Amino acid sequence: MHIAILGGTGPQGKGLGFRFALAGHDIAIGSRSADRAAATADELRPRIVDGGAVGSGANIDIIDDADLILLSVPYEGQVDLLRSLAEPLAGRLVISCVNPLGFDGKGPHALAVPEGSAAEQAAVALPDSTIVAAFHHLSAPSLLEDGPLHDESVLVCGDDAEAKQQIIDLAAVTALRGGVDAGPLRNAQQIEAMTAVLIGINKAYKARSGIAIAGL
């Protein structure tokens, strides 16, 4: 597949893009600045041997050729970006890994999102796109290291069964246990919020924790 990554200059977009490209998918790193996107693509390219192609461009310029679009920008910036891209994203499959989190004296916590979750907010901003939520619990440093996939699952939720299955299949190249059907898009609220708990665990145990679904 050809996967465009909006905000691909950040650690999460870069890490997921690295794993997609290692597995043979073509990726395009997107940014508000084509130069920043090119610098990130140049950084990744030498690390992808026998994998997919690594392209780059301004966010708006990488959408047309893509089979999938990964949204990997901070929650605070997503609505403005998505509204500006609503037309080119119409009819397209958009994956959200966005976690709406705040940090205070007690540590990380889930922010209240009027639409329910960041993914549902994306669905409202992009009424003509299909939104699937996934990859919220994978740690960017783990994705970016040269090593085997971590023993964890990827919870995938969405309202379009075919699109959701496509991302469940894709998740197999990002985590050892692959993707798990986590229900409709409204479940993104719980999935996104769980990230605050994992970050707290990481801090307490100096670890990179993840979710592994047992009993399947």
Ligand X SMILES: NC(=O)c1ccc[n+]([C@@H]2O[C@H](COP(=O)([O-])OP(=O)(O)OC[C@H]3O[C@@H](n4cnc5c(N)ncnc54)[C@H](OP(=O)(O)O)[C@@H]3O)[C@@H](O)[C@H]2O)c1
> Does 200 sit near ligand X (CB under 6 A)?
no
Which residues ranging from 7 to 36 are in contact with ligand X (CB under 6 A)? Answer: 7, 9-13, 31-33, 36
How many CA atoms are closer than 13 Å to the CA of 54, on its beta-carbon side? 29
- In whole angstroms, what is the distance from residue 60 CA to residue 89 CA? 9
215/30 Cα distance (integer angstroms): 38
Taking CA atoms, 24 is separated from 2, 62, 107, 138, in Å, by 10, 18, 38, 20
- The residue from 19, 48, 75, 163 that contacts ligand X (CB under 6 A) is 75
Q: Which of 94, 95, 110, 140 binds ligand X (CB under 6 A)?
A: 140
Task: Pick one of 73, 89, 94, 157: the residue that binds ligand X (CB under 6 A).
Answer: 73
Smallest CA-to-CA distance from 211 within 182, 184, 186, 169 is with 182
Which pair of tokens denotes residue 171?
């998740």
| Positions 94 through 113 that interact with ligand X (CB under 6 A) | 97-99
CA 22 to chain centre: 16
Candidate segments 75-83, 84-92, 145-153, 158-166, binder of ligand X by CB under 6 A: 75-83
The tokens for 101 are 């989190």
Whichever of 31 and 166 has its CB closer to ligand X, that residue is 31
Q: Can you tell me the distance from the alpha carbon of 20 to that of 71, in angstroms, rounded to the nearest whole number?
A: 14
Q: CB of 96: closest distance to ligand X in angstroms?
A: 8
81 binds ligand X (CB under 6 A): yes
139 binds ligand X (CB under 6 A): yes
* Residue nearer to ligand X on the CB measure, 22 or 71: 71
Three-state secondary structure of 37-98: HHHHHHHHHHHCCCCCCEEEEEHHHCCCCCCEEEECCCHHHHHHHHHHHHHHHCCCEEEECC
Distance of closest approach, residue 177 Cβ to ligand X, in angstroms: 17
Least separation in angstroms between CB 140 and ligand X: 3
**Residue 72 interacts with ligand X (CB under 6 A): yes or no:** yes
Residues that bind ligand X (CB under 6 A): 7, 9-13, 31-33, 36, 72-75, 77, 81, 97-99, 136, 138-140
